[in-house]
Amino acid sequence: DAEITQSPRHKITETGRQVTLACHQTWNHNNMFWYRQDLGHGLRLIHYSYGVQDTNKGEVSDGYSVSRSNTEDLPLTLESAASSQTSVYFCASSEVSGGASTDTQYFGPGTRLTVL
């Protein structure tokens, strides 16, 4: 069965360190997204990609970067982790087919990141 996975599921790191969160999907979806979830803010978009070699900034992109070298993976990198980046991170994918968007986003299980 197709799925979307994230690793690690939990990560504790120190301020200033570089951290990379992995996201892998086997849906063969073109669109992939990274969100962070904090109490009272819902899901906020960090970066997104509509296909290989395509990346775009979302609402809260400062301090984060992504790369898309293949369809399946969209790793999220925190260049220099800050305590404000302590959060739960969700990766999602979706497909747009033909002229009618299906739009459904399939979310991964999430990564809980703590920056000390």
Interface residues toward another protein, by CB under 8 A = 31, 33, 35, 40-45, 48, 50, 58-59, 90, 92, 94, 96, 101, 103-110
Q: Are strands 42-51 and 54-57 parallel, antiparallel or unpaired?
A: antiparallel
Q: Which is nearer to another protein, 9 or 80 (CB)?
A: 9
Taking the complex as a whole, the smallest distance from the CB of residue 42 to another protein amounts, in Å, to: 4
Taking the complex as a whole, the smallest distance from the CB of residue 58 to another protein amounts, in Å, to: 7
Q: Which is nearer to another protein, 16 or 38 (CB)?
A: 38
Taking the complex as a whole, the smallest distance from the CB of residue 32 to another protein amounts, in Å, to: 11
Find out whether 63 and 54 touch, Cβ atoms under 8 Å. Answer: no
Q: Which is nearer to another protein, 37 or 86 (CB)?
A: 37
Q: Which is nearer to another protein, 16 or 109 (CB)?
A: 109
DSSP symbol at 73: B
Element (H, E) at 36: strand 31-38
63: exposed, middle or buried (C-beta count within 10 Å: 0-12, 13-18, 19+)? middle
Q: Which residues lie across from 16 on neighbouring strands?
A: none
